Amino acid sequence: MRLQGNGRLGRMLVPLFLWQADLIRTPTFYVSSFLEAHRETYYDHLLTVSRDNDWSGWCAFFLQAIIEQATENSDKASRILKLYNEKKTEMVDLTHSQYSLPALDWIFERPIFSSSDFVENAGIPAPTARRILSVFRETGLLTILVAPSGRRAGVYAFAALLNIAEGHDAF
């Protein structure tokens, strides 16, 4: 019998259950980061269920995981919304373009992208897309992951957004 992966499968089922029970709108709620941060306690509670049939202790621990993860997710969502509102005003002022908001929306949806992908798929005329991308780079909105070279497109990251999502300065 293979035991590896059962925990991951169980953690994937939790948001699906919460979604099916109409407790969340989409099944995108995961407790894995909490459980990883409290790995020893997590395993201790699993052991006490198996050894002592202590379901109450396990349920209390898991409910605490849900509460803390929900609080963290809510905080991240608030910080992302605040970032969006700040950048929306800033980018309109900097680009003076009717396309600044569609461009900003595009990079919020795809925080790591190539310049060619942006120019080809953002729904903005190519010369305007290149100019807006230049403004985004010059103002520090984007971090260069791979510098453009010759015909090779540059690869950029929207570091502020990614750092919020990761919960630490990853970029």
Output the domain CATH number for residue 98. 1.10.10.10
Task: Tell whether 58 and 87 lie within a shared domain.
Answer: no
- Secondary structure letter of residue 168 according to DSSP: S
Q: Is residue 1 part of a domain?
A: no
* pTM for the structure as a whole: 0.77
Counted domains in the chain:
2
pLDDT score of 167: 86
Full domain range(s) for residue 95: 80-166
Taking a C-beta distance cutoff of 8 angstroms, is the pair 156, 137 a contact? Answer: yes
Write out the chain's pLDDT in tens, 171 residues.
445 566 777 777 777 888 889 988 887 777 888 888 999 999 999 899 999 999 999 999 989 998 998 898 889 999 999 999 999 999 999 999 999 999 999 999 999 999 999 999 999 999 999 999 999 999 999 999 999 999 999 999 999 999 999 888 988
Task: Tell whether 33 and 107 lie within a shared domain.
Answer: no
Helix (H, G, I), strand (E, B) or coil at 113: strand
Task: Tell whether 144 and 98 lie within a shared domain.
Answer: yes
Q: Is residue 171 part of a domain?
A: no
Task: Tell whether 62 and 95 lie within a shared domain.
Answer: no
Q: Is residue 62 part of a domain?
A: yes
Kindly report, residue by residue over 42-92, the tens digit of the pLDDT.
Answer: 999 989 999 999 999 999 998 999 899 889 888 999 999 999 999 999 999
pLDDT score of 5: 61
Contacting residues for 162 by C-beta, under 8 A, at least 6 apart:
111, 112, 170, 171
Q: What phi-psi label fits residue 150: left (phi over 0), alpha (psi between -120 and 50 degrees) or beta?
A: left
Q: Is 22 exposed, middle or buried (0-12, 13-18, 19+ CB in 10 A)?
A: exposed
Task: Tell whether 67 and 93 lie within a shared domain.
Answer: no
Task: Tell whether 56 and 12 lie within a shared domain.
Answer: yes
Task: Tell whether 32 and 70 lie within a shared domain.
Answer: yes
